[in-house]
Amino acid sequence: MSPDVPSSGSVRSAAELNEQIRALWLRAGGTLSAQERAEYELLVVEWAEAIRGAVIEAA
């Protein structure tokens, strides 16, 4: 397997990550600071990996 490809996907579920993303936006009041934007970007990447893992499992 290529080192660029994650081997096991996200540890957290897509639903859990989605809730964290929603909570972040609520706490931020709709405008993210630089630190919040960095956190948001990491959460979105992890969420996408979780979704991809769920699709692969379903196939």
CA-to-CA separations, 5 to 1, 8, 25, 46, 49, in angstroms, rounded: 7, 9, 29, 13, 11
User: Are 10 and 48 a contacting pair, CB within 8 Å?
Assistant: no
List, for residues 22-58, the tens digit of each pLDDT value: 999 999 999 999 999 999 999 999 999 999 987 787 7
User: Are 45 and 6 a contacting pair, CB within 8 Å?
Assistant: no
The number of angstroms, rounded, from the C-alpha of 46 to the middle of its chain's C-alpha atoms is 3
**Tell me, what's the pLDDT at 58?**
74
Q: pTM (2 decimals)? A: 0.74
- Residue 46 included in any domain: yes
Q: Which of the four pLDDT bands, split at 50, 70 and 90, describes residue 3?
A: very low
* Count of domains observed in the chain: 1
**Tell me, what's the pLDDT at 4?**
44
- Residue 20 included in any domain: no
- Residue 8 included in any domain: no
Q: Which of the four pLDDT bands, split at 50, 70 and 90, describes residue 5?
A: very low
User: Are 7 and 1 a contacting pair, CB within 8 Å?
Assistant: yes
Question: What is the domain range of residue 49?
Answer: 33-59
